[in-house]
Chains A and B, each alone.
Chain A
């Protein structure tokens, strides 16, 4: 892996005010993005994965704000940005986003070609015929046949997969450095999903983009990611190369997530579940946020927040299990099985 950091978020804290109360959605979250890599952020809904990445584009809801830490990009700290005008140089131009639902992210009253053209005109200053030509090229690039005629059609004339292609075309039209895909395939069929993932990969190589996937589908993660970050209750609890997370994870939350997959379940036996609910972020969390749902918590989990422990130079986990003083705890057996299966397959 190269060491060109394009974006570096450090100790980011994001707070929302809801009916006079303060909710800390992101609690000291740090993340580095490398040039050209694909990072997948996984976690259940409400873990803050969308909020965290939205703060890179200044797209937080009006009641949310970054209250601590820094987001360094291109020599500037995005966390200090206040005005829309400042964001206009970043959003769409340098960092673009593809949303989950292509139904709601397109303007239903505007032909799709115009919507792509709009983004080209605004961010690159290219107007008129030339912009139109670029928009048609973009439509072709994302695999929409008969682009010239499709240019004038409205979103409702497209299928779900085709709409998502249009959304991707809009995001990629300005050749951003970072592309954030927020559950880009959740609303699509598996066959279409595979095509869209392939399309994003091809575009990534062509434009040398850094791609961040936000997803809760671990199958998609295994398909696309170079690196994986697991989020829980507003923090990244474990991150590492994709192989390190899938074959050798160490955080109990990652364990629980992997074990509950039906793919690894034994027919006729109940699946391991993650009981309880994520902690209430309105209150200060004491100790390890996952302790209450952990099936084998340590006493210290309820007392003190664990630091990151290094497993390899690229792999860190935030759990007391890795402290040298901790009792020896075995990884769940699915990791051993997966490693063994991989060895068999490789042989």
Chain B
């Protein structure tokens, strides 16, 4: 497989101190390869966004480390590396209504990163870069003099993507980029993301709770539950051979737009107390090449049997 772009090793992120300490993410191990779309799925509060934010250095890491091209980018790092990470790893936020500065014109919103990092030669160069970024996401350069409220939801999300692209990043964290959009607009934004990925050789980490979209766009998928990754595999493998009971529950809960299949579907409810981890401690193990699952020895044996290995 290709080169590892991001390595997450035994990551822990916690909020608060002392008695109020809350561990949002624990023991997370993920490798993201160059050029792939990696999806992280979980319900709200599972810590999926926290992992994304930890990579782009918004949330400080309290344990483990994150490597970018083999260099550690978590914790205290040099100023130069920090700038490099900011430039190369960008994030697109969930809600385009909330994540754009209401008082700034599109021109400023898109070029803010350039200004902060002095990534342009002169005013004309900056203008050109902004125009190019806007055109790439399917907006007109004339839009740069407008304010965010003058745009529809889909267009706003395009502005959010444009301001990440203007930095010419290698890696994008997409935090539920389409869940706030209307159905008819979703397809457009998904197409745009796929197109940009091919054209610019980007790597995506896609954070979502909508499994239907994930299946369409991602190469590999990880399922996260209460801050722990419970299963990780290639997309089709995960959808056809889900192993962990939580993955099964999640897959069964997704409504399929087909009335017949919906009628035949049985809802699986996940009950974490079904695991007996009192003596037999769970581990994170590869049960099949590329297919990882979290479980204790007895469960892993069952999973292997299920896969026929």
Stretch at the interface among B51-59, B178-186, B289-297: B178-186
How far, in whole Å, are A264 and B188 apart by their CA atoms in the complex? Answer: 15
Given that A190-B253, A190-B254 are known contacts, is A260 also in contact with B187, CB under 8 Å in the complex? yes
Given that A267-B216, A271-B191, A345-B260 are known contacts, is A190 also in contact with B183, CB under 8 Å in the complex? no
Residue of B nearest to A186 (CB): B179
Stretch at the interface among B25-33, B114-122, B262-270, B280-288: B262-270
Given that A219-B255, A222-B259 are known contacts, is A190 also in contact with B210, CB under 8 Å in the complex? yes
Check B261 for interface membership: any CB of A closer than 8 A: yes
Check B257 for interface membership: any CB of A closer than 8 A: yes
Given that A190-B209, A262-B215 are known contacts, is A342 also in contact with B258, CB under 8 Å in the complex? yes
Given that A189-B43, A222-B259, A246-B259 are known contacts, is A216 also in contact with B216, CB under 8 Å in the complex? no
Check B250 for interface membership: any CB of A closer than 8 A: yes
Q: B257 to A246, Cβ gap below 8 A?
A: yes
Quick one: which of A218-245 are within 8 Å of B by CB? 218-223, 225, 242-243
Given that A189-B44, A222-B256 are known contacts, is A270 also in contact with B194, CB under 8 Å in the complex? yes
Question: Contact check: which of A45, A160, A192, A273 meets B188 at CB < 8 Å?
Answer: A273
Counted as pairs of residues, one from A and one from B, with CB atoms less than 8 Å apart, the total is 116
Given that A262-B187, A267-B216, A273-B188 are known contacts, is A242 also in contact with B259, CB under 8 Å in the complex? yes
Distance (Å) between the CB of A71 and the closest chain B CB?
27
Question: Contact check: which of A194, A223, A263 meets B216 at CB < 8 Å?
Answer: A263
Q: A263 to B257, Cβ gap below 8 A?
A: yes
Q: B253 to A258, Cβ gap below 8 A?
A: no
Q: A338 to B258, Cβ gap below 8 A?
A: yes
Q: A262 to B216, Cβ gap below 8 A?
A: yes
How far, in whole Å, are A274 and B44 apart by their CA atoms in the complex? Answer: 30
Question: Contact check: which of B187, B253, B257, B259 meets A191 at CB < 8 Å?
Answer: B253
Q: Report chain A residues within 8 Å CB of B212.
A: 219, 261-263
Distance (Å) between the CB of A336 and the closest chain B CB?
13
Given that A189-B209, A190-B210, A191-B249 are known contacts, is A273 also in contact with B258, CB under 8 Å in the complex? no
Distance (Å) between the CB of A242 and the closest chain B CB?
5
Q: A274 to B184, Cβ gap below 8 A?
A: yes
Check B190 for interface membership: any CB of A closer than 8 A: yes
Q: A273 to B259, Cβ gap below 8 A?
A: no
Q: A263 to B44, Cβ gap below 8 A?
A: no
Check A257 for interface membership: any CB of B closer than 8 A: yes
Quick one: which of B200-224 are within 8 Å of A by CB? 209-213, 215-217
Q: Report chain A residues within 8 Å CB of B44.
A: 160, 189
Residue of B nearest to A221 (CB): B257
Given that A198-B267, A260-B184 are known contacts, is A222 also in contact with B262, CB under 8 Å in the complex? yes
Check B301 for interface membership: any CB of A closer than 8 A: no
Given that A242-B259, A345-B261 are known contacts, is A271 also in contact with B253, CB under 8 Å in the complex? no
Q: Report chain A residues within 8 Å CB of B43.
A: 189-192
Question: Contact check: which of A193, A197, A222, A270 meets B258 at CB < 8 Å?
Answer: A222
Check B152 for interface membership: any CB of A closer than 8 A: yes
How far, in whole Å, are A197 and B262 apart by their CA atoms in the complex? Answer: 12
Check B195 for interface membership: any CB of A closer than 8 A: yes
Q: Report chain A residues within 8 Å CB of B216.
A: 262-263, 265, 267, 271
Check A77 for interface membership: any CB of B closer than 8 A: no
Q: Report chain A residues within 8 Å CB of B215.
A: 262-263
Q: Report chain B residues within 8 Å CB of A223.
A: 255, 262
How far, in whole Å, are A345 and B260 apart by their CA atoms in the complex? Answer: 9
Question: Contact check: which of B195, B255, B264, B267 meets A217 at CB < 8 Å?
Answer: B255
Residue of B nearest to A261 (CB): B257
Distance (Å) between the CB of A274 and the closest chain B CB?
4
Q: Report chain A residues within 8 Å CB of B182.
A: 44-45, 216
- Render A155-192 as a binary contact track against B, CB cut-off 8 A, 1 for contact: 00000100000000000000000000000000001111
* B residues lining the A interface (CB < 8 Å): 43-44, 152, 182-188, 190-191, 194-195, 209-213, 215-217, 249-250, 252-262, 264, 267, 270
Contacts beyond the supplied A222-B262, A223-B262: 7 A-B pairs with Cβ under 8 Å:
A190-B250, A261-B257, A267-B216, A273-B191, A275-B188, A277-B152, A342-B261
Sampled A-B contacts (28; CB under 8 Å) = A44-B182, A44-B185, A160-B44, A190-B254, A197-B255, A198-B267, A221-B257, A222-B255, A222-B258, A222-B261, A223-B255, A225-B259, A242-B259, A243-B260, A246-B257, A246-B258, A257-B184, A260-B183, A260-B184, A260-B187, A261-B257, A271-B190, A271-B191, A273-B191, A274-B184, A274-B187, A275-B188, A345-B260
* A residues lining the B interface (CB < 8 Å): 44-45, 160, 189-194, 197-198, 216-223, 225, 242-243, 246, 256-258, 260-265, 267, 270-275, 277, 338, 341-342, 345-346
